[in-house]
Amino acid sequence: MEYVQERVTTLHDLTDPTPTAPTDRATVVVPMTEREYAGLAPDRVLSELERVDPGQVIVPLRAPEERVGDFHDWLADFDLSLSVLWCNGPRLEDLLDDHDLDGEFGKGRDVWLGLGQALDREYVVVHDADTKSYSRADVPRLLFPLAHGDDFSKGYYARVENDRLYGRLFRLFFVPLVRALSEGRDAPVLRYLESFRYALAGEFAATTDLVERFRPQRSWGLEVGTLGDAFEYADFEGSAQVDLGTYEHDHRAVSGPTGLSDMSRHVGSALLRVVTEGGVDPDYDTLVDRYRETARSLVRSYELDAKFNGLSYDRGDELDQIETYVDAIEPPGTDRRLPAWADAPVTPDRIAEAAAADLEAAR
């Protein structure tokens, strides 16, 4: 247990608090895909949310048409003010295409659609549905800093399961890459990114005034892109991070189309875009070597920490992952971010109408 402050306000779990927070003035956005249908982790998340009773819950759903009806009926069983937004219905896709907004599918696109439906409330909370250890305290904890003057709040937690350290993409890619970028620099954007104890956590809360300025990445770079927007509009003074304890998530393989290797490319692109827009000019000729050196030096520390806690640790596997992530370090390509809702060429109401018609047809 510790209580050290970072450069952003850091709220610690010292007494297992469930603080008083304006949950009734908040929308909770919980993106799901077909793999979440009736699963144990999503069921726990929604059951815990029933005890929180937020103002509304929006589930941006990406699933094939034949699964949508069953998904809707399952979600309707929970005692929540809950709306399903089918993210890949034909009418919605046509509407987005008409405004040059359709394209790559991914978590970021789903969350962007959900955020558009959340702007009628004062606050928005976003979190994943695959958290096996989800607690009803999470939403009020994330909202608490906002009720006390902050604009942005990020969750952090320990990833320890099955007697192993997880959070591999954060530990072995994000952290050493940011440290390598910071060598010899004192850039505010890098200091901001380094302040967050789990920058790739999917759990955050923000005021709707801030949310409507977000320009989300379409896929796995969502979390880093969100931090970039928070740095631009909330900065250090308006940002906080909140201890959510120990989290147990579904795990991903390193390889494959949704594995950590593929995710690292999205995260790397988003990170390097954020720091470039923050005034940092990365030296790509030396960055890979500096990343590799920094990452490999961290392996000894992780290994010692694991041994200290009686956890297993596969040093060779961690070193192999570092080499896999090297391929993700390259200049960001075409900017495919979605527009801020404050500037979007289509309104949330039109999105809602198209999605509702798709949902009705699918049921």
- 198-246 per-position pLDDT tens digit: 999 999 999 999 999 999 999 889 999 999 999 999 999 999 999 999 8
Nearest Cα neighbor of 335 from 275, 270, 283, 284 is: 270
List phi, psi (to 5°) of 299: -60, -40
CA–CA separation, 200 and 215 (whole Å): 17
Domains of the chain, start order: 9-362 (3.90.550.10)
pLDDT at residue 274, rounded to an integer: 97
- Please report how many Cα atoms fall inside a 13 Å half-sphere around the Cα of residue 134, on the Cβ side: 26
Sorted by sequence, the CB contacts under 8 Å of residue 77 that are 6+ apart come out as: none
- Please report how many Cα atoms fall inside a 13 Å half-sphere around the Cα of residue 206, on the Cβ side: 27
For strands 204-207 and 123-126, give the pairing. Answer: antiparallel
Joined together, the tokens standing for residue 119 give: 């702007």
What confidence tier does 249 reach under pLDDT thresholds 50, 70, 90? low
pLDDT at residue 196, rounded to an integer: 98
pLDDT at residue 246, rounded to an integer: 82
Task: Read off the pTM.
Answer: 0.94
Whether the predicted pLDDT of 333 surpasses 90: no
Residue corresponding to tokens 């409507």:
212
Joined together, the tokens standing for residue 246 give: 């120990």
CA–CA separation, 174 and 266 (whole Å): 11
Residue corresponding to tokens 């500037």:
343
**Proportion of the chain above pLDDT 70, given as a percent:** 97
